[in-house]
């Protein structure tokens, strides 16, 4: 909290002192009129100073500045080696990325072995990583860094377990190995959904209402008989129409990817983006891909939030990692427009459309893609 520094207010005596000293030096020369005028000026100066003091006191307020997302740094030392784990942010949203740095400082006569790439990071998607070359600094320490760019799948608290680092001094036997572990760190991932949306609950179905007891049994019998006769008549008419047509009344099966392509083409023809209805476009294209996933893989995507669906997807083997990452990016971008009021530009809209079409094209079963490929929609 920033506390405003109040400017010292000069006292009434110090402000009026010059006038008083002048009056003391030549008091015998003053007339009564001059003495009254001098006192009036002193009183007026005191009143002005008091007014300024009141305004400054009433206008000064303690202003709280929202702190930026702070990072995390954990340091562990063992002998000649110091291991540091850093996160550039301790709290992100599901659409953000976080940078994780493993930094090891050791004396020049030590050989360092970092943990395997991706170790302890199974709950994240690794968007990028790099390992720097060992660098000798002025204090005769060799610094090695490995930097990850991580993406979360779901909201919640992500606990990164301790990393194990091995080292040995030069000249020691090859089978001699010293080990140390870093401290665990936690990063909080917030949801994109507003609290009001996450708190929504579906009420149970109301129990069946009891029928009034004043209906006569005869009325029930007549009603059921009429319904039965109507059903028989409709069945007979349908049977005759089918026979007259000379073909079975079974509709041809539409494959999931063909249905999805036709829906994408209808979305393009509707030109919602050209009409300025970008949010409606993202709602529609999200629904198209969610229904395709339900038809293609049997996953109940339309009724679930992005986090619930990605959670189920992560525990199953329906999709390979490449398609999981592609799907997660698509759904998160759609949620940012639908719930976070994000305003995408034309390149972002085209990339979203291409991601949807690419996901469908790459998940078509091989036999269906070869025998009867669907016609893709063009943006």
The alpha carbon of 120 is separated from its chain's Cα centroid by a whole number of angstroms, namely: 22
| 284 C-beta neighbours (distance < 10 Å), count | 17
Residue with tokens 């009891």: 210
Q: How far apart (Å, rounded) are the C-alpha atoms in residues 309 and 301?
A: 6
Give the CA count within 13 Å in the CB-facing half-sphere of 370.
3
Could you tell me which residues come within 8 angstroms of residue 53 by beta carbon, excluding any fewer than 6 positions away?
9
**What is the rounded radius of gyration, in angstroms, for the C-alpha atoms of the chain?**
38
Question: pLDDT tens digits for the chain (379 residues)?
Answer: 343 444 443 444 333 344 433 334 333 333 344 444 455 555 455 554 544 444 344 443 443 434 445 889 999 999 889 999 999 998 998 788 899 999 999 988 888 889 998 888 878 888 888 998 888 888 888 999 999 999 887 778 889 999 999 998 888 887 888 999 999 999 998 876 665 544 545 556 667 666 555 555 656 666 777 787 788 888 877 777 776 665 554 556 789 999 999 999 999 999 999 999 999 999 999 999 999 988 888 877 666 777 777 777 666 667 888 888 888 899 888 989 988 888 999 999 999 999 999 999 999 987 655 544 444 555 5
Of 62, 60, 80, 228, give the one whose Cα is nearest residue 165.
Answer: 80
Give the model's pLDDT for residue 33.
Answer: 44
CATH architecture classification, 72-191: Sandwich (2.60)
Residues pairing with 86 in the sheet:
73, 101
């Amino acid at each position: 909290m920033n506390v405003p520094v109040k400017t010292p207010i000069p006292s009434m005596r110090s402000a009026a002192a010059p006038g008083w000293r002048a009056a003391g030096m030549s008091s015998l020369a003053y007339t009564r009129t001059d003495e009254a005028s001098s006192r009036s000026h002193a009183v007026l100066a005191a009143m002005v100073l008091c007014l300024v003091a009141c305004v400054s006191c009433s206008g000064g307020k303690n202003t709280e500045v929202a702190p930026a997302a702070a990072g995390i740094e954990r340091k562990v030392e063992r002998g000649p080696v110091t291991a540091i784990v850093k996160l550039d942010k301790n709290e992100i949203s599901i659409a953000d990325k976080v940078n994780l740095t493993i930094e090891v400082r050791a004396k020049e006569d030590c050989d360092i072995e970092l943990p395997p790439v991706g170790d302890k990071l199974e709950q994240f998607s690794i968007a990028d990583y790099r390992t720097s070359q060992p660098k000798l600094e002025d204090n005769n320490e060799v610094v090695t860094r490995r930097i990850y760019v991580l993406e979360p799948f779901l909201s919640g608290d992500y606990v990164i377990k301790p990393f194990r680092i091995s080292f040995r001094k030069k000249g020691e036997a090859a089978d001699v190995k010293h080990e140390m572990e870093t401290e665990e760190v936690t990063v909080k991932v917030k949801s994109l959904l507003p609290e009001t949306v996450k708190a929504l609950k579906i009420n149970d179905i109301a129990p069946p209402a009891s029928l009034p007891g004043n209906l006569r049994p005869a009325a029930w019998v007549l009603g059921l008989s009429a319904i039965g006769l109507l059903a028989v008549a409709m069945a007979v008419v349908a049977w005759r129409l089918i026979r007259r047509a000379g073909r079975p009344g079974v509709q041809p099966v539409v494959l999931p990817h063909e249905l999805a392509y036709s829906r994408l083409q209808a979305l393009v023809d509707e030109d919602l983006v050209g009409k300025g209805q970008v949010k409606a476009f993202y709602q529609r294209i999200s629904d198209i891909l969610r229904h395709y996933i339900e038809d293609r893989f049997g996953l109940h995507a339309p009724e679930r939030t992005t986090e619930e669906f990605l959670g189920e997807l992560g525990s199953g083997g329906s999709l390979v990692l490449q398609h999981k990452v592609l799907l997660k990016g698509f759904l998160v971008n759609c949620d940012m427009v639908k719930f976070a009021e994000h305003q995408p530009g034309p390149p972002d809209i085209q990339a979203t459309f291409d991601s949807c079409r690419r996901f469908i094209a790459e998940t078509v079963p091989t036999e269906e893609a070869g025998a009867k490929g669907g016609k893709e929609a063009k943006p």
